[in-house]
Amino acid sequence: MSLRSLIPAVFLPVLIFETGMGALAPVLALSGRALGASVGSAGLVLALLGVGQILGDVPAGALAARLGDRKAMLVASGVTAVTLTGCALARSVWQLAAAVTVTGASNAVFILARQSYLTEVVPTGLRARAMSTLGGMSRVGAFVGPFLGAAVLTRFPVHDIYWLALLCTAVTVVVLLTVRDVADPAAGAVRETASVRSVLRGHRRVFLTLGLAVLLVASVRATRQTVLPLWADHLGLSPSSTSVVFGIAGLVDTLTFYPSGQVMDRAGRLWVAVPSMVVLGCAQAALPLTHSLASLTVVAMLMGFGNGIGSGILMTLGADVAPPRARSQFLGVWRLCADSGAAGGPLVVSAAAALGSLAAGIALMGAVGLAAAGALLRWVPRYSAYATTGTRRSSKRVAGGAAPAPVPEPRPPGGASGQPENPVRGRGEPPLT
């Protein structure tokens, strides 16, 4: 199997789908304003897309486990088509808000299903490159989508952007129906229908440690999209200049996703995860020190680089530690940790700004980035056999030459699913079984 063989069935549908979602993001608040919403209510409409993803993460895992990854993607695309139509035809802010929330939930199902599929069929030696490319497709879609949306809005009203997103969704469905996956996960093994509760109970130590690190990473990465325009406005830059800076940072972010996967596969996850957080945290902490367009652009590029080299790291770590028999359910909770952090980080900055110190809020999130680096350094070797080349060799020696599953699986219902997890032996060694 090669990454090229995954393009038609995996990366192309994600790219098309995320391009439609990317076109929506800049105009959600504007479409709310067009329906008569206040500035605060219009901002809430935009936030509801992320709220929908949080609400949909855990059900997405259960749905993918029950239906299978491809069927779950088709269901998510169908629901998205209905909700986008609802967005386009909405005549009140509340109708729009409801449709946007469900759109976020269906987006969670779509992405989780592809992540679960890649986790199951891609060899471990190619896993990080596959996940970083999957994350890269979302980045490319988020980068290209607003430009397509801008082209539409030069001739049509703001609500017509939803028809563009609907077209992207329809094309995604056509690709899913006409292109076969490179492998059938159901042919390899029979999945157990483990409940989300049993997965939470059986892997609570993972979620309370490595899951907390995931939450911190996601909060810092999401915050960069909030602090750049806010600080640019604080410096008195024009909206056009802010857009250029934001676009340059997005371009650097987009161009660096594939090399990160190569480093993770060859040298280990920590060689990307820790530098990504250190660069991103330091760059955010330095943002309040900028006082001109040039210095802001340099720091924005550093932020884009720090985020870009970390492309796919959370999905890769999730794939490393997910139990094979309850993979989708585990990844649903894993994404809940990430999406909760992504929603919480910008709220910290907004609260600090409301209290009168935007710079303090930005600096605080920079410190969170360094804390995230420390948490990854502490916990990734405990649970991932692929943290470094050293942990990989150690795991193979313990397993007699085969890399073991780094995290114990929940036992069948009626057994010991509520029993405590097997203890972790030490840095770089897998749990006892």
pLDDT digits (tens, 9 = 90+) for 96-111: 999 999 999 999 999 8
| DSSP reduced 3-state for 431 | strand
Alpha carbons 416 and 120: distance in angstroms, whole number: 25
What's the pLDDT score for residue 406?
Answer: 47
Alpha carbons 151 and 17: distance in angstroms, whole number: 18
Cβ-contact 103, 52 below 8 angstroms: yes
Spatial CA neighbour of 272 closest among 384, 364, 348, 405:
384
Residue with tokens 């979302």: 138
List per-residue pLDDT tens for the chain, 433 residues long: 678 888 888 899 999 999 988 888 777 877 887 888 776 677 677 778 888 999 999 999 888 888 888 899 999 999 999 999 999 998 888 999 999 999 999 999 998 988 888 888 888 889 999 999 998 898 888 888 888 888 888 888 888 889 999 999 999 999 999 988 776 655 545 555 677 888 888 899 999 999 999 999 999 998 888 888 888 888 888 877 877 888 888 889 888 888 888 899 999 999 999 999 999 999 999 999 999 999 999 999 999 999 999 988 999 999 999 998 888 889 999 999 999 998 888 888 878 877 778 888 899 999 999 999 999 999 999 888 888 887 777 766 655 544 444 444 444 444 434 333 433 333 343 343 3
Which residues touch 25 (CB under 8 Å, ≥6 apart)? Answer: 46, 49, 142, 145, 146
Alpha carbons 275 and 302: distance in angstroms, whole number: 12
Residue with tokens 């939470």: 200
Domains of the chain are 7-180 (1.20.1250.20), 193-402 (1.20.1250.20)
Token pair for 7: 């393009």
| Amino acid of residue 33 | R
Spatial CA neighbour of 7 closest among 244, 317, 152, 16:
16
Alpha carbons 363 and 286: distance in angstroms, whole number: 8
Structure confidence by residue, pLDDT tens digits, 40-56: 677 677 778 888 999 99
What's the pLDDT score for residue 299?
Answer: 94
Burial category of 411 from C-beta neighbours within 10 Å (exposed 0-12, middle 13-18, buried 19 and up): middle
